Amino acid sequence: MIPLVSMKGISKRFPGVHALKHVDFDLHVGEVTGLLGENGAGKSTLMKILCGVYAPDEGSILWEGKPVAFTSIRDAQNQGISIIFQEFNLCPNISVLDNLFLGRELKRGVVLDFKKMREKAKKIFSYLGVDIPLEQPVGRLSVALQQMVEIAKALLLEVKVLVMDEPTSALTEKEIAKLFQVIRDLKAQGLAIVFISHKLDEVFHITDRIVVLRDGERVGEVRTKDITEEKIVEMMVGRKLSDFFSTRTSKPSEEIVLSVDQLSGPPYIHDVSFSIRKGEILGMAGLIGAGRTETALLMIGALRPTDGRICVNRKEIHFKEPAEAVSHGIMYLSEDRKNKSLVLDMTVRENISMSILDKLSEILFTINSQKERQLCSEYISRLQIKTPSMEQRVKNLSGGNQQKVVIGRCLAVEPFVLVLDEPTRGIDVNAKAEVHRIITTLADRGVSILLISSELPEILALSDRVLVMHEGKVKAILENKNLTQEQIMQIILRKEKESYASA
Amino acid sequence: MMSVVKKVFAARESAIFLALLLLMGGIWIFAPKFLSSSNLYLVSRQISFVAIVALGELFVILSSGIDLSVGSIMGLSGVIAAGAMVSGIPIFLSVLLGLIGGMLLGFINGILISYVGIAPFIVTLGMLSFARGTILILTKGWPIINIPPVFLVIGQGDVLGVPIPVWIMLVAGVVSYFLLTFTAFGRRLYAIGGNEEAAFLSGIRVRRIKLAIYILSSLAASIVGIILVARFNSAQPDTGTGWELDAIAAAVIGGTSLSGGSGTVLGVFIGAAIMGIIRNGLVLMKVSPYWQTAIIGVIIVLAAVLDRIKNKRRA
């Protein structure tokens, strides 16, 4: 059978990187193909070539066996290829309806045909099983609904090939289930679908075939039902899964270094109390929007608490801004690496030393650059940051290495409490394992860690105790002994039912 | 040696510096008088005024802010200093009063922007109007004359054949360069411009630094306002009108990004020089003054376009 789309021998170079090396990639009618690989393996580049964003340096694209060349996204769309990018392409200030038909409005003469557009939009939303008000500005929708609008937008076109880049990262379990139903439906209608995700269980659940990329090369193509998760991970990273677990060598002491007592504050944090012991990893679990990040921000003074106390080494302290928390040795690593952690245009060196410029300053407030460089090279080698030099701008680094730069900044402060907010989000398996190792090593050395993560396996693998948050409140604090993901999810869901009942 | 040459050409400023040289060459061909020492004396002094104000503006723009009130603050500090001198207060003290008056307005700008959280554009637009109004209230629209003659040397005199305002510009440039390049303050300022949220969360006292730069900006403007009193032998109520735009233009032509985080002292100096030399050259070539304003407008946009192209090639 001739594949619907066949990419043959695709190569692409960017300055300094060989992003794709002779990659073959086929798509068949009525099939879901999973595209897997670490960050930087070339998945996005390959998809951008398929959708006409980039032109390949070598290789060709065949459509039902005939060569085609796309010079723009519109070209590819006309052929029937639609992509849902990882970052949304929606205008937050204009309505759902306007977003759906942006750039391809339906007209009657010169005026817009709102009636027809509204009809079409309603039809597609009811097909997707969501009820989204068409006049609402997109920015006011939840991230999950925005994702649905993005999907609806793609389906409005005459689609034959649909590429979904991390479509589930913002969705809840329920919404993911709905999305999968839609994918199965589309598949039955004969669409060829590409599904890109970091979540292996989803890939195994929904795909028919899996193509694995590593360092710009195609490692292999397998039928999903013939392979195990371990084998896939091995293909992706080139080594065995068992190498990835890190173990603690010491137990936390009984000494409480930080306690939070009935902390409340905007937007919806209420009566949060917990304490962390020296050398302890306290995992913080909860759904997106449970209030974990906000709790951390209230703690370090980035947001103003309305009530509650924070005690460091039994002394009550009130942080007016993060700078004060930092000078007390409490460091926060943000969940949003690009927007809230890194100064992308600055160098690796400048990003690492950012929080300790006071310590590096001498007479006349000048920065001792020799000391600065020495310190940076120490963290670069200790955290194994892969960069040509410390003068490299961080925006040119891969996600994992960027994250290590931020971790380097945190460690340079020599904190005794480290708040890590989604420290492994969006980084590949190898880097993840290294970050896990760094976390356990730090705890072994007596640093107390508050670990916020949406990945329960991560929380369970690393934490001494687990705090479960939901809707701005602490629901439970549990010893991590024989604790399972199901137990944690049950706590969250049970409380959800209760709060419905009380409402 | 080669690497030094390479470094020079790779520098952000090299392109506009080349443009500056070409411009000077072009003007010299059509108006040979351009390179006469008397003309260079005048043009360098003219450039120094804009350059000093633009240096202050640079600090603000680096934080991705904007200061529209520098022109009015210039005028007000000149009026305060001149008024004080005329009423018999010692010159040194009068100058100090002028500087403090200007910095106080900068302080108010800074508090409103960083602690109250109002957009810099709005705050400084209000200050532009407020300071200008205050000048008119104080002077009733009349210039202040009878400035003590000893004071005039600051605006009219020279040392080693170089106008004193140019020396002041050079000192201001060295101090600014030092602050931006070698101190923690400068590094933090670039970080704030690059990503304010990241700077805040990593422990930089963003509000304090933002307050400081609006004070610095008004200090630079006040210095120029006071020198201009000496230059014109009077404090004119309309001194500084429109200078905020010249200062911003000099910074932009010099490659400063209005979105913050990138820009240099050298760039600002070259930007101010390009503007001053074009004005001077057009006068020498007897081009109608109406054309000058239009041409400056074209240059500003052209500089931004060139910067855009250069950045694109880099990315």
Q: Mind listing the pLDDT tens digit for each residue in A262-274?
A: 999 987 899 999 9
The string over B176-205, giving b where at least 16 C-beta atoms fall within 10 Å of a residue's C-beta and e elsewhere, is: bbebbebbbbbbbbbbbbbbbebbbbbbbb
Q: Is some CB atom of chain B closer than 8 A to the CB atom of A302?
A: yes
- Do both A134 and A272 map to the same domain? no
pLDDT value of residue B236: 93
- Please tell me whether residues A66 and A33 are part of one structural domain: yes
User: Where does chain B have alpha helices with state H?
Assistant: 2-10, 14-30, 37-62, 70-86, 91-110, 120-139, 153-156, 164-182, 184-194, 196-201, 206-232, 243-253, 265-284, 289-314
Task: Report A:331-390 residues touching B (Cβ under 8 A).
Answer: 331-332, 334, 339-346, 350, 354-355, 357-358, 360-361, 364-367
Residues of A in contact with B194 (CB under 8 A): 343-346
Would you call B215 helix, strand, or coil by DSSP? helix
Mean pLDDT of A464-491: 87
The enclosing domain of A102 has a CATH number of 3.40.50.300
pLDDT in tens, A280-323: 999 999 877 788 999 999 999 999 999 999 999 889 998 999 99
Residues of A in contact with B261 (CB under 8 A): 343, 345
Q: Tell if the CB–CB gap between B203 and A361 is shorter than 8 Å.
A: no
A102 at B interface, C-beta within 8 A: no
- Residue A501's pLDDT is 41
Does the domain spanning B14-24+32-308 belong to CATH 1.10.3470?
A: yes
Instruction: Look at B183 and A367 and tell me if their CB atoms are within 8 Å.
Output: yes
Domain boundary among A209, A240, A271: A240
Number of domains in chain A: 2
The DSSP H or E segment spanning A274 is strand A269-277
Q: Which of B179, B190, B201, B313 to mutate to test the interface with A (most CBs of A within 10 A)?
A: B201
> Chain-wide mean pLDDT for chain A?
86
Task: Decide if A326 and B203 are in contact by the 8 Å CB cutoff.
Answer: yes
The verdict on A449 and A398 lying in the same domain is: yes
* Domain containing residue A285: 256-502
Instruction: Single out the residue in A240, A265, A292 at which a domain terminates.
Output: A240
- Indicate the residue type of B8: V
Predicted confidence band at A40 (pLDDT cuts at 50, 70, 90)? low
- Do A119 and A262 lie in a common domain? no
pLDDT bucket at A332, cuts 50 / 70 / 90: very high
Percent of chain A at pLDDT above 90? 39
Q: Is residue A247 part of a domain?
A: no
- As a whole number of angstroms, the distance between CA A8 and CA A22 comes to 7
Are A354 and B204 in contact (CB < 8 Å)?
yes
pLDDT band at A246 (very low <50, low <70, confident <90, very high): low
CA distance B116 to chain A (A): 15
Mutation target among A298, A321, A349 for the B interface, most CBs of B within 10 A: A321
pLDDT band at A15 (very low <50, low <70, confident <90, very high): low
pLDDT of residue B73: 97
User: Domain check: are A234 and A333 in the same one?
Assistant: no
Indicate if A396 and A292 belong to the same structural domain: yes
Q: Are residues A167 and A205 in the same domain?
A: yes
Residue A251 is assigned to a structural domain of this protein: no
Q: Is B204 on the interface with A (CB under 8 A)?
A: yes
**For residue A502, what pLDDT band results from cuts at 50, 70 and 90?**
very low
Q: Give the other-Cβ count within 10 Å of B259's Cβ.
A: 10
> Which chain A residues touch B203 with a CB distance below 8 Å?
322-323, 325-327, 331, 354-355, 413
Measured CA distances, A175 to A145, A148, A234 (Å): 9, 9, 30
What is the C-alpha separation between A333 and A398, in angstroms, rounded? 18
> Which tens digit of pLDDT belongs to each residue from A218-232?
988 999 998 888 788
B184-194 vs B164-182: helix axis angle to the nearest 10?
Answer: 80
Q: Which of B239, B16, B214 is nearest to B114 (CA)?
A: B214
Of A322, A366, A367, Cβ closest to residue B201 = A322
Q: Name the residue among A321, A332, A367 with its Cβ closest to that of B187.
A: A367
**A245 found inside a domain:** no
Domain annotation covers residue A107: yes
DSSP string of A459-476?
A: HHHH-SEEEEEETTEEEE
DSSP string, B5-62: HHHHHHSTTHHHHHHHHHHHHHHHHH-GGGGSHHHHHHHHHHHHHHHHHHHHHHHHHH
Please judge whether B203 and A340 are an interchain contact, meaning their C-beta atoms are less than 8 angstroms apart.
no
What are the Cα distances from residue B202, in Å, to A354, A498, B296?
Answer: 7, 39, 41
pLDDT of residue B186: 94
A246 domain residue, yes or no? no
Q: Which of A208, A240, A272 is the last residue of a domain?
A: A240
The complex's ipTM works out to 0.86
